[in-house]
Every structure is written in C-alpha cells, then in structure tokens.
Amino acid sequence: MAELNTGDGGGGKGGKVRSKKQSSKVDLTAMVDLAFLLITFFMLTTSLSKPQAMDLSLPDKDPDTTKKDETKVDENRTMTVMLGADNKIVYYMGLLATPKVGPKDIAYGKDGIRRELLKQKKAVLAYSAGLGKPKNGIIVIIKPTKKSNYRNLVDILDEMAITGVDTYAIVPEFTPEETKVIDKK
C-alpha cells in the first residue's frame, strides 16, 4: 500500500518552518494481479481459428505390382479435367477417342467450370437413375500438367467441394492424345 511518513516540521528552535519532503510509495501488486487475470480470461475465452484443410485419400507408397487392381468405370460417368499452363482448363466427358462432350476450353469460376460440373453432374445422375442406380454420381479425373501451377490445382479442388462432387482423382499421367489437346493453342 502507499506509505506516507508524517512527522513534525523540523526541530526545536523556532526559526523558519520548512516542510519536509515526503516520500510516497505505490504498491503495484494488485494491478499486476489484475493484468494477469485479464490476460488469462481472454486467452481462455477466445476461440482459436481452426486450419482449413481438405481430406485427401492417397495411394500406398509401395503398391504391390503383382496385383492388377483396375476399376472399370462407366465412361458416361467420367469427366476429365486437364490443367495447363497460363490458367488453361480443358475438359471432356467419356473417352477422348469418343467423347460425349468436348474437349472444350473453359475458364475458372462460377460461370466456367463450376457451371459445367453442375450440369454434367445433373446429367450423370439422370443417366444413372435411368439405369436404376440413383446413387452413382459423376467421377472427375483431374490431370495437372507440369506447366500448371499449384493455385490451379487448389482452385479445381475447391470447385469439387463447392459443387459436391464426391468422387474425384488426381492423375499425373497423360496420354499422347491428351498432351496434344492441352498443348493446342
């Protein structure tokens, strides 16, 4: 606490009356305690931001080469999206030799690839429902070239999340025909 010394003005003989300089002390313990309590309170009550991440399933590092596990997929359900240099996207439905749609150049965003993904997803669901398999949705194969950048891959993965495409794969291999299509200006 604050301490004040009070005493008489000075000594015995009558003469000038001088005021004695008083020393004062302020105890800061209570203020330090309050500061730490406030810091603790705000640390415990604020919510920390959670990192935004997307779940990816990756293949095993050492696949058993003796097993040949190839999954046959209906070509009417398959959409291939190729990412090229300078933010270029080319997509096609089905097989490249006999495509249902495309190959077409398209842009990123809601008026580009997102609209096309939603349209093809709806068409595939209608096709699957006609076959009596209403839960079979679209399968998107994403093929980034060595010239495409990381942002393009993240953007197309965001489009998969936005449009609700459940089944997609990132495949780095290109056929010679696909290389010709993506390199064409």
Residue 165 pLDDT > 80? yes
pTM score, whole prediction: 0.61
Supply 12's token pair.
Answer: 């015995």
Is 161 inside any structural domain?
yes
Lookup result for tokens 């990816």? 56
Query: Is 80 exceeded by the pLDDT of residue 154?
Result: yes
pLDDT value of residue 185: 57
14 located within any domain: no
**What was the pLDDT predicted at 32?**
92
Report yes or no on 37 lying in a domain: no
Instruction: Flag whether pLDDT at 81 surpasses 70.
Output: yes
Angle 34-39-42 (CA atoms, 0-180°, nearest 5)? Answer: 120
pLDDT score at 88? 86
Instruction: Note whether residue 2 is domain-resident.
Output: no
What CA–CA distance (Å, rounded) separates 176 from 185? 16
In a domain, 166, yes or no: yes
pLDDT at res. 16: 74
Q: Per-residue pLDDT for 8 more than 60?
A: no
Average pLDDT over every residue of 77-104: 84
Please report, to the nearest 10 degrees, the dihedral formed by the alpha carbons of residues 115, 79, 105, 156 taken in order: 60
* Domain boundaries, position 90: 75-183
Total domains in the fold of the chain: 1
Q: What is the pLDDT of residue 25?
A: 81
CATH number assigned to the domain comprising residue 140: 3.30.420
Q: What integer pLDDT is reported at residue 40 of this predicted model?
A: 92
Interval 103-153: pLDDT, tens: 888 888 888 888 888 888 888 888 777 777 767 788 888 988 888 888 888
Q: Is residue 130 part of a domain?
A: yes
Residue-wise pLDDT tens digits, 9-62: 555 566 677 777 777 788 888 899 999 999 999 888 887 777 777 666 666 666
Question: Which one-letter amino acid corresponds to residue 5?
Answer: N
Between residues 89 and 67, which one has the greater pLDDT? 89
Whether 41 is covered by a domain: the verdict is no
Whether 128 is in a domain gets the answer yes
CA distance linking residue 140 with residue 168, whole number of Å:
5
pLDDT, residue 9, reads: 53
Q: How far is CA 54 from CA 18, 51, 134, 157, 173, in A?
A: 79, 10, 26, 9, 23
